[in-house]
Structure 1
Amino acid sequence: MIDRPSLAAYGSNYGVFPTECNSKFLGLFKEIERSVTRQKGLGKVSPSAIDLSWKTYGAVRAMIYNQKLFIIEEKLDGKGYHSTRALAILHQLNRAVTTSLFLLPNIEFSFAVDDIADVSHAHHTIWAFSRLAIDDEIWLMPDFGYWSWPLELVGEYDQIRAAMRENEVEWDKKISKALWRGALKTNKQVRGALMRATRGKEWADVEEVTWKNMTDVTGGSAAAALPIAEHCAYKFLIHTEGHGYSGRGKYLLNCASIVIMHKAQWIEPHHHLLVRAGPHQNFVEVERDFSDLEEKVEELLQHPQRAEAIMNNSMAVFRDGYLTPTAQVCYWRQLFLEWAGVSSPPDPWEVVDGKNSLRGTPFETFV
């Protein structure tokens, strides 16, 4: 029987100290540690390094000062997804600040909200959702979905997690197929290969979903679209990258299912926690062309005990551990602390009409 403890039982506790975070989520901060090590070899991050003049849109410059969040500069389109993503990140930042039981350092930083933070890979220092291996100057942060993805098929993160738990079924009652839904055009090479590898296969439930705009699917594919929580009805969930990273991965890892992922190019903060083999295996990796997908699905179907063990490992590591809201707020605060150690402290004041004034717009006013 799938156990359904309340989310309060270490799902959404924001009043945690760094010692608790380090104890409960050992290894969570590997990406932050990588960035710190690199930066120490270069010297402190200067104010000019977080300048946004190179970025046309999709970024925000912000400051935390005296336990308050300020927006220094925003480059958002005002009507598209950049604004909703930026607000989701700012809400996460503000929650991490206002619920902290200890004093946070004063810092200034910039973050990007598009899928690919630095399309030219010109080595700008910025916080972002994901990076390629060559983007070693990028600091990784939790993405917007940990607050909310404002789509009818997705929604607010805690709400999704609650729906998944309440409707979760026992492993042997799940549909014994590999499920995927998504837009083909965002990565025709990888997703097209998936479509070809699964066409006509009894073990696969793979369909394209086409979008009319950023929030609505077209009439022809609306029936194929599945709310993210309903993915959990399947034993196997296929995760693919888009034109950059794909934000659906964390949702799939919240299901009591097995995530099957092709060899990834884009790195997210939790990717180092994925174990591809051995007694602690918690996902299944396949080639980028899915040439071995059928073989690996058939193997899982033929060895149900091994499959269930992979699923249980996944739940323990991701759903009940490193992808909880508590883990995410731990990550944010560790990011603040470590960034403060390798960056120049902010100058919070500026002269306006002959008087000293705090720089930027308070979060409460901005939103």
Structure 2
Amino acid sequence: MLKCFLVLKKLFVPILIVLAISGLRKASIDGKTRLTAHPTDTKDAVMLNSTNLNKKRHKVPVFGFTKTRKGPIWGLHPDGIVLIPCFTLWVFTAPKIGRWRSVLENLPKVAEKIKWENRVHKLMWRGARNGGRQWLTDIGQRKDDPALDIEFIDWKPSTLSAHYSENFKNIQQFCQYQYLLHQEGWSYSNRLKYLLLCGSPVIFANFRGWEEYWYHLLKHDYNALIWRDRDNGESFHNLTRNLMHDPQKAKFIGINGKNLVQKYLNEQAILCYLRNVLIEYEKLFAYRPRKHLNAVNIDEFLVGYSA
């Protein structure tokens, strides 16, 4: 991994189309649309939300954070999407989370303060009532089930926060539980990497098939538990019970999930991947691009940039 990072040359490559990238500014030079990093303004973004783009194939690569080959009917055709690292890997200002570099270094240390055997013996989830999460409603209402701590968050002010309800839990509190649940919403949910860092086994309810660029590394029963049997309460019950009755297996999966994130989602690995994407992308050009006056080196933008 380190060798790959070191041998890659520095590139300044114009990106034709990018999906919802925070901190990018669009400019037109020589009749061609360019996107350049602008580190002093994080409010600019490129949003491709026209219905005319739904399921269309394009003659140029589309850089995106996620894609799916299943529903919904909206979204670009997956064959033309080249996956790049999610924005949360290089700039994120969500409350009580902070920057990925800091999370990657500190969250495992926080989690390790509580031995896995001493964590809360429950499956925990918090989230909004959107996307394909309706199946969680009945399960979450089973208050008499001591193995579950599943609740919806109402987005309203509380004593904890101006934005979150009383039952909100930050990512450090997730790490206090032995078992964690991850669920997509209308689109992908970028929370998965944070949950895996806790070192507790994560059940990934993957119904719509949304994927990030690193999801091919997820292996069922090895570093995650991938569950696709939506609306089958018995199947979900059996999965959770079997996991809870095999603590050795649960610890094995949890440790492997944490190791996956630490090995493949550290900043050097992220840079290595994105640089290779841009190197291959450059080979498609019939012209030699000129560096924009405001262009920022990709290393500085991804690693050196801070909100």
TM interval, short-chain normalised:
0.7 to 0.9
Counterparts of 1:172 and 1:346, CA distance in 2:
58
CA distance in 2, matches of 1:173, 1:239: 22
Q: Does the CA contact (< 8 Å) of 1:209 and 1:222 recur in 2?
A: yes
Q: In structure 1, what is the equivalent of residue 151 of structure 2? A: 207
Aligned to 1:351: none
Out of 223, 244, 249, the residue aligned to residue 192 of structure 2 is 249
| Counterparts of residues 164-183 of structure 1 (less than 5 Å) | 164-168=107-111, 169-183=114-128
Once residues 59 and 122 of structure 1 are traced to their aligned partners in structure 2, the CA distance between those partners, rounded to angstroms, is: 26
Match in the other structure for 1:122: 56
2:224 is the counterpart of 1:288:
no
Look up the equivalent residue of 2:66 and give its one-letter code: S
**C-alpha distance in 2 between matches for 1:180 and 1:293:** 14
Q: Secondary structure at the match of 2:57?
A: coil
1:193 aligns with 2:193: no
Q: Which amino acid aligns with 2:269?
A: A
Distance across 1 between alignment mates of 2:240 and 2:87: 31
Structure 2 CA distance for aligned equivalents of residues 332 and 211 of structure 1: 35
- For 1:337 and 1:62, locate their aligned partners in 2 and report how far apart those are by CA, in whole Å: 21
Identify the match of residue 323 of structure 1 among 247, 252, 265. Answer: 265
Cα separation, 2, equivalents of 1:177 and 1:145? 28
Equivalent residue, structure 1, for 2:72: none
Contact 1:237 / 1:258 at 8 angstroms: preserved in 2? yes
Amino acid at match of 1:211: W
Given that residues 156 and 165 in structure 2 are in contact (C-alpha distance below 8 angstroms), is that contact kept between their aligned partners in structure 1? Answer: no
What is the CA deviation profile of residues 304-338 of structure 1, one whole-angstrom value per residue up to 9, with x for unaligned ones?
111111112212222x2112222212111111222
Closer, same or farther: CA 306–20 of 1 in aligned 2, 3 Å: farther
CA RMSD of aligned residues (A): 3.9
Is the 1:175–1:233 Cα contact (8 Å) retained in structure 2? yes
Q: Deviations over 1:20-79 (max 9, x none)?
A: 799xxxxxxxxxxxxxxxxxxxxxxxx9x9368xx999895779xxxxxxx9348xxxx9
Query: Secondary structure of 2:259's match?
Result: helix
Alignment of 1:214-225 (within 5 A): 222-225=165-168
**In 2: Cα distance, 1:293 partner to 1:211 partner:** 27
CA shift for structure 1 position 263 = 2.7
Matched, 1:226 2:160: no
C-alpha contact (below 8 Å) 1:176/1:235 kept by paired residues: yes
The answer on whether the counterparts of 2:5 and 2:269 sit within 8 Å (CA) in structure 1 is no
CA deviations 1:217-257 (Å, max 9, x no partner) are 667x5221111222111111111111111111111121111
Q: In structure 2, do the counterparts of structure 1 residues 258 and 60 end up closer, same or farther at CA, with 3 Å as the change threshold?
A: same
Unaligned runs of 5+ in 2: 9-13, 28-32, 70-76
**Pair 1:120–1:165, CA change in 2 (3 A):** same
Q: Quick check: 1:21–1:330 contact (8 Å CA) kept in 2? A: no
Q: Is the counterpart of residue 131 in structure 1 residue 67 in structure 2?
A: yes
Write out aligned runs for 1:4-23 (5 A): 16-18=2-4
Do 1:260 and 1:284's aligned partners in 2 also have CA atoms closer than 8 Å?
Answer: yes
How many residues end up aligned between the 2 structures? 270
Asked if 2 retains the 8 angstrom alpha-carbon contact of 1:211 and 1:218, the reply is: no
In the other structure, the counterpart of 2:214 is 270
Shift of 1:346: 4.0
Contact 1:62 1:72 in 2 (8 A): yes
**Distance (Å, rounded) in 2 between the aligned partners of 1:116 and 1:307:** 44
Higher mean C-alpha displacement, 331-340 vs 285-294:
285-294
Q: Does residue 1:336 correspond to 2:272, yes or no?
A: no
Name the structure 2 match of 1:236: 179
List per-residue Cα deviations over 1:158-211 (Å, max 9, x = no partner): 2223331222121111111111111113x1xx2121132232221111111233
State the distance in 1 between where 2:80 and 2:252 align: 37
Letter matched to residue 249 of structure 1: L
Distance 2:20 2:204 in 1: 33
TM-score, length of structure 1 as denominator length: 0.62
Letter in 2 for 1:324: N
Aligned partner of 1:362 in structure 2 is 295
Aligned partners of 2:226 and 2:189: how far apart in 1? 16
- Sequence identity percentage: 24
2:16–2:34 contact (8 Å) kept in structure 1: no
Structure 2 residue 34 is matched with structure 1 residue 72:
yes
